[in-house]
Amino acid sequence: MTGNLQKTSVRFENIEKSFGSVQVLKDFDLEVEPGEFVVLLGASGSGKTTALRILSGLETPSAGRVYIEDQDVTNILPKYRNISMVFQSYALYPHKTVAENIGFPLKVRKVSKQEMDTAIVDAAKQVQLDGLLERFPRELSGGQRQRVALARAIIRRPSVFLMDEPLSNLDAKLRGHMRAELKHMQQSMGITTIYVTHDQIEAMTLAHRVAILEKGVLQQLATPAQIYNDPENLFVAQFIGSPPMNVVHGSLEGSEFVKQGVRIDTLVQGRIDRAVMGIRPEDCTVAAPSEATVTGKIYTNELIGDHTLVTVNWGDDQIAVKASKDFTGSQGDDIGLVIPSDRLFVFDENTGARVR
């Protein structure tokens, strides 16, 4: 089933999309390599589902072109695009068995019964449903229903998989399990996959590359590691990471970030009256006030399991730090923090641009 699948590239070129006076995608450019798993990540209304619907043919762009391989498919009907789409609602037929649901795309194509039966068993095996083919959707768990939807997508042998929040209806434990299943399946089948989510953990764990959208504009396209360690701007820096990156407001004076008389060395140069320093919680350390870069008072501490998350007030900002699980400080205690200059980022507050 996996060996002879053609790996396919996808390209969005200068896509614009408006609904009435609302512009949902602005000059959207994205190239997906053959066999790549790209995740479109953003909050509700960022334009990610619209991009997917334009690729599938369910929406027409206001401007720009869409290519699958090198074929311009902008005005081609969905059924001629050789794409399979999996939605968060599963969209199963309740009166059909698992086997009938999986085989439905082949029935529409009038494939012979023998060929269809073989393909159904094949697809069901890939998602570990082979023992449940005679059941109806109502007799299945949420995760099993989602796997039926996946098998129905696989059986079409599409050149591109599109997935719109396919795990959002599952509980946290099952979502983690299905993430691993999806990743394994995509890697073994090698089908080009574009996946929409607002869940950054899904994006970071599944994607070869992540495309972060905000208000219809592509903010950054890079590997999960690059997005986390080298964010393009303040929006990306704050959007990725759990807990999110700390942001502290002050100014940049030469090579120092300055807030309330405290000066912290940075690796950048410039003069910005309204600057933002960003630092990840795991990159700060707790220290005695006499040895610290910054001192403040503990606002709260939370034992997470393998670490304690300590939140410290510094003026009208807060800094969260990952301390050891044995940390014992209490609310209101004075505490020192060490902020290493090679791990901090500086942004221009007015534009959100990263200072490099």
Nearest to 260 by CA among 271, 273, 269, 251: 251
Q: List the domain range (segments joined by +) for residue 268.
A: 246-348
Please report whether residue 61 resides in a domain.
yes
pLDDT digits (tens, 9 = 90+) for 305-318: 999 999 999 999 99
163-209 confidence digits (pLDDT tens) = 999 888 778 888 888 888 889 888 888 899 999 999 999 999 999 99
Name 35's Cβ contacts closer than 8 Å, sequence gap at least 6: 7, 190, 191, 192
- Assigned domain for 4 exists: no
If asked whether residues 116 and 191 sit together in one domain, one would say: yes
Residues 215 and 273 in one domain: no
The answer to whether residues 81 and 40 belong to one domain is yes
Give domain status of residue 353, yes or no: no
- Do residues 230 and 292 share a domain? no
Does residue 1 lie within any of the structural domains? no
Tokens matching residue 224: 């999960």
Classify residue 5: in a domain, yes or no: no
**What's the rounded Cα separation, in Å, for the pair 248 and 215?**
24
Pair (303, 156) in one structural domain: no
Structure confidence at residue 169 (pLDDT)? 79
Q: Among the three residues 223, 239, 255, which one is the final residue of a domain in this structure?
A: 239
User: H or E element: which one contains 189?
Assistant: helix 172-189
- Determine the pLDDT at residue 3: 43
Number of domains in the chain: 2
Is residue 35 classed as helix, strand or coil in its secondary structure?
Answer: coil
Query: What pLDDT is recorded for position 28?
Result: 98
The phi, psi pair for 40, rounded to 5°, reads: -90, 115
188 CB-contact burial (10 Å; exposed 0-12 / middle 13-18 / buried 19+)? exposed
Q: What string of pLDDT tens digits covers the 356 residues of the chain?
A: 344 456 899 999 999 999 999 999 999 999 999 999 999 999 999 999 999 999 999 999 999 999 999 899 999 999 899 898 888 777 899 999 999 999 998 998 889 999 999 999 999 988 888 899 999 999 998 888 988 998 998 888 889 999 999 888 778 888 888 888 889 888 888 899 999 999 999 999 999 999 999 999 999 999 999 999 999 999 999 999 988 999 999 999 999 999 999 999 999 999 999 999 999 999 999 999 889 999 999 999 999 999 999 999 999 999 999 999 999 999 999 999 999 999 999 999 999 999 99
How many Cβ atoms are within 10 Å of 303's Cβ, its own excluded? 12
**Distances 193 to 121, 189, 246, 303 between C-alpha atoms, Å:** 23, 10, 33, 38
